[in-house]
Amino acid sequence: MSFVSLNFVIFVAVAAGAYFLCPAKYRWGILLAASQFFYLLTSPHTYVFLLFTTITTFCGGIFIERQTECYKNFVKEHKEELDRKQKKEWKARYDRKKRRILLAVLLLNLGILAFVKYFKVYLNTLSRLLELESISFEAGILIPLGISFYTFQSLGYLIDIYREQYKADRNPLKFALFVSWFPQIIQGPISRYDQLAEQLYEPHFFQYERVKFGIQLMMWGWFKKLVVADRVAVFVNQVFDRYTEYTGFYAILGVIGYTIQIYGDFSGGMDIARGVSQIFGIDLTLNFKRPYFATNIPEFWRRWHITLGAWCRDYIFYPISLSKFFGKLGKSSRKLLGDRIGKLVPVIFAQLITFFVIGIWHGAEFKYTAYGLYQAVFIIGGILFEPFIIRLTELLRINTKAFSWRLFQISRTFILIVIGRFFSRGTSFTAALWMMKHSFDLNPGIFFNGDIFTLGLTPKDFILLGFCLVFWIIISVIQECGYSVRQLIAQQNAVFRWMIYLAGIFAVMVFGVYGIGYDAGSFIYRGF
């Protein structure tokens, strides 16, 4: 069931009606039923994978917590008999048991994730290396809907239980709701248990303001997805799928278009998910914060796919950089490379590993690995050369607080992000390199001889797209200045408010990209 279908609107309306009419104590059950029904309708053949992850992480959390409780009870019973050293030894025994349980559940779920997402790619790569006929398992392996998102969310919960950050959930049905909450199951965000679970379990009551704001957010998401992203996708697909025919400005326009498309597509989906959740009184974690206003690559990743970045930071980057092994590596590196660089060695390795994981999270093809490492290079470079850059700006007497400097930083970062999109959208790693190389074969004539209109969009489409992008930028600037657009609209007179609402509905229904053979419901990150 697509987020942009009439069936989805009806589904949400029926679920919301049932939720608010149901007795308060049973309302979480309505959310569970709606979530399970949604998944069964959308991807019935892969439901068993969702069920497996739910059961294994639920049981794993209880077993891990049981070991923690056993240790505490043991120490309490024998506190007079045990000295400090013995307590430490017993804690190590119980910690080993906890680690075994954690690793078993992690390996099971990550193994399934790796198999269903990457096995076919690895097999075909191997067959090419051995000069065999390509063996396709496409018909035999179905990629479960949202598996990357619900797997990371569930395993984050399990790791937090291992770290004793909160108690394990003892209700399997409520935990199933946390894993499968239907607005976020397709493409996130990757929520934390302590942020989302209590909101799902507690009853919420009908609030006109929340429902109104939720619908507005959904409309904004549909606008970004259907009017902007899906319109840009028409010429983006043409350029990238037939990249050898389109060089120079075609390639440049194609990659800039994809940069716009993926933002509109992904953030639009997030707005719909957050809007639906808001109708039910639930606030999902913000996943985008105007990333193209970032002044450097690290800031971009604090604004783009925020929940994935936070997950990788807490469960990959920090454990690696603060581990004993990398601590020792840092100490030995200081002797060889000096204090400053030596201290950075664990951080550099942790960044490389983290962005390698982010790359392969998107897919098994080498182009995704290259995309992750491309991001890591600029982040690591920024860390290493930070003192030099600060010194250079001082020597050149650059006013770093001036708007012109910020504009330069935003422009520079945007260009670097755009270049990286060659890897994430190119049909292959070699295709991405080919397109980058031939982007310099510039031919400005395409803007004057009408060739640009052979990419699938008419002059009216380009005019409409330009108008929509300007409108989107204005909204983003207002938000960046700290204002809530929805609150500003709410303060206006009823006639003006409804003019805006109707204009939004009109824009989505009339200017959205539809047509035979076109799948508007296909979100880019649905495939990740």
CB atoms near residue 444 (< 10 Å)? 9
Distance of alpha carbon 182 from alpha carbon 38, whole angstroms = 6
Looking at residue 186, its pLDDT comes to 85
Confidence (pLDDT) at 512: 77
Write down the pLDDT at residue 444.
Answer: 80
Asked if residue 5 has pLDDT above 80, the reply is: yes
Q: What is the pLDDT of residue 516?
A: 44
- Could you tell me how far CA 91 lies from the centroid of its own chain? 37
Q: Is it the case that residue 380 has pLDDT exceeding 60?
A: yes
User: What confidence category does residue 519 fall into, taking pLDDT thresholds of 50, 70 and 90?
Assistant: low
Q: How many residues are there in the chain?
A: 528
Cβ contact 375:355 at 8 Å: yes
Q: Tell me how far apart the alpha carbons of residues 344 and 152 are, in angstroms, rounded to a whole number.
A: 28
Region 61-82 average pLDDT: 85
For residue 92, what pLDDT band results from cuts at 50, 70 and 90? confident
Contacts with 365 (C-beta within 8 Å, 6 or more apart), sequence order = 121, 428, 429
Structure tokens at 398: 């650059």
Please state, in angstroms and rounded to a whole number, the distance separating the CA atoms of residues 29 and 23. 10
Residue 327 tokens, joined: 């601590």
Q: Is the pLDDT of residue 187 over 90?
A: no
Band (354; pLDDT cuts 50, 70, 90): very high
Max CA pair span of the chain: 90
Q: Which residue has the tokens 């193994």?
A: 111
Q: Please tell me the distance from the alpha carbon of residue 109 to that of residue 59, in angstroms, as a whole number.
A: 13
Q: Please, which contacts does 281-285 make with residues 24 or more away whose CB atoms are closer than 8 Å?
A: 281/199, 281/204, 281/205, 281/207, 281/210, 282/181, 282/196, 282/199, 282/200, 282/204, 283/199, 284/183, 284/184, 284/189, 284/191, 284/196, 285/189, 285/191, 285/192, 285/195, 285/196
Given a cut of 50, is residue 181 above it in pLDDT? yes
Q: Which CA distances in Å does 415 have to 95, 194, 387, 420, 524?
A: 47, 37, 23, 9, 22
Strongest mean pLDDT among 120-124, 155-159, 366-370, 458-462: 155-159
What are the DSSP calls for 439-454, one per residue?
TT---GGGGTSSGGGG
Helix residue spans in 363-402 (DSSP H): 366-384, 386-395
521 has pLDDT over 80: no
Quickly count: other Cβ atoms within 10 Å of residue 254's Cβ: 27
Question: Which tokens hold the place of 381?
Answer: 């470079």
Between 61-75, 123-137, 445-459, the lowest mean confidence (pLDDT) is in 123-137
Give CA–CA dist 177/15, Å, rounded.
14
In this predicted structure, what is the pLDDT of residue 86?
80
Calculate the alpha carbon distances from 396 to 295, 323, 390, 391 in Å: 19, 40, 10, 9
Q: What angle do CA 58, 63, 65 make, to 5 degrees?
A: 95
Is the model's pLDDT at 522 over the cut of 80? no
Distance of CA 357 to the CA centre of its chain: 13
Q: State what percent of residues in the chain have pLDDT above 70.
A: 93
Structure tokens at 410: 């935003």
Residue 130: per-residue pLDDT: 62
Hunting for tokens 């990550």 — which residue is that? 110
Residue 144, preceding peptide bond in cis (omega within 30° of 0): no
Mean pLDDT, range 95-105, rounded to an integer? 93
Q: Which of 66-80, 148-162, 244-258, 509-523 comes out lowest in average pLDDT?
A: 509-523
Tell me how far apart the alpha carbons of residues 475 and 390 are, in angstroms, rounded to a whole number: 33
Q: What is the pLDDT of residue 297?
A: 94
DSSP letter at 516 equals T
* CA 198 to each of CA 57, 138, 189, 473: distance values in angstroms, whole numbers, following the listed order: 18, 39, 17, 35
Three-state DSSP string of 95-161? HHHHHHHHHHHHHHHHHHHHHHHHHHHHHHHHHHHCCCCCCCCCCCCCCCCCHHHHHHHHHHHHHHH
- Is residue 160's pLDDT more than 80? yes
**Helices 47-77 and 172-180, axial angle in degrees (round to 10):** 130
Nearest Cα residue to 464 out of 419, 520, 507: 507
pLDDT in tens, 292-326: 999 999 999 999 999 999 999 999 999 999 998 98
Alpha-carbon gap, residue 111 to 88, rounded angstroms: 33
Does residue 446 register a pLDDT over 80? Answer: no
Confidence of residue 80 (pLDDT cuts 50, 70, 90): confident
Please state, rounded to an integer, the average pLDDT across all residues of the chain. Answer: 88
The mean pLDDT value for 325-345 works out to: 87
Q: Among 65-79, 156-170, 428-442, which is the least confidently predicted range?
A: 65-79
The pLDDT tens digits of the residues spanning 35-57 come to 999 999 988 888 999 999 999 99
pLDDT for 528 beyond 70: no
* Nearest of 444, 465, 415, 427 to residue 247 by alpha carbon: 444
Q: In this predicted structure, what is the pLDDT of residue 72? A: 84
Please determine, for residue 78, whether its predicted confidence score (pLDDT) is greater than 70. Answer: yes
**Confidence band, pLDDT 50/70/90 cuts, at residue 350:** very high
Q: How far apart are CA 175 and CA 189, in angstroms?
A: 17
Does residue 144 or residue 251 have the better pLDDT? Answer: 251
pLDDT score of 156: 95
pLDDT in tens, 393-413: 989 898 989 999 999 999 999
> Is a pLDDT exceeding 50 seen at residue 428?
yes
- Of 71-80, 97-106, 252-261, 484-493, the poorest mean pLDDT is in 71-80
